Amino acid sequence: MGTDLVSINNIGPATARSLIAAGIPDAATLRALGAHEAYRALLLAGERPHFIGYYVLQMALQGRPWNDCKGAEKDALRQRFDALVSEVKGGSSAGIEAALKEIGLLQP
């Protein structure tokens, strides 16, 4: 195993366990994949989408504090996050929205 994931600032033990479960065993692999593709792996492994987790991973790989993401940069990351989540979900609605659409209370 290469460099320990928790050696990257902003990545704690819980995130490291999730990354390992998603097939990202070490910091070198994470850096090679990049934050966006690593987050895709997390989603495919069953992690629930959470925007803060997405941008924290982005900031971590840039060596920046997790809360350094602001303004236009944060807005752009939100768009990339939303597109990724939609792509991984296959563009379909989930949860209550899907149920409401099924019974005709929301437009498809």
Contacts of 3 by beta carbon, 8 Å cutoff, 6+ apart: 26, 27, 28
pLDDT of res. 58: 97
The CATH number of the structural domain formed by 5-102 is 1.10.150.20
Query: What band does 100 get if pLDDT is binned at 50, 70 and 90?
Result: low
- pLDDT score, position 1: 46
Please name which of 84, 91, 89 lies closest in space to residue 37, comparing C-alpha atoms.
84
1-50: pLDDT as tens digits: 456 999 999 999 999 999 999 999 999 999 999 999 999 999 999 999 99
- Cα separation of 39 and 80, whole Å? 11
pLDDT tens-digit series, residues 38-97: 999 999 999 999 999 999 999 999 999 999 999 999 999 999 999 999 988 875 445 556
Report pLDDT for 99. Answer: 62
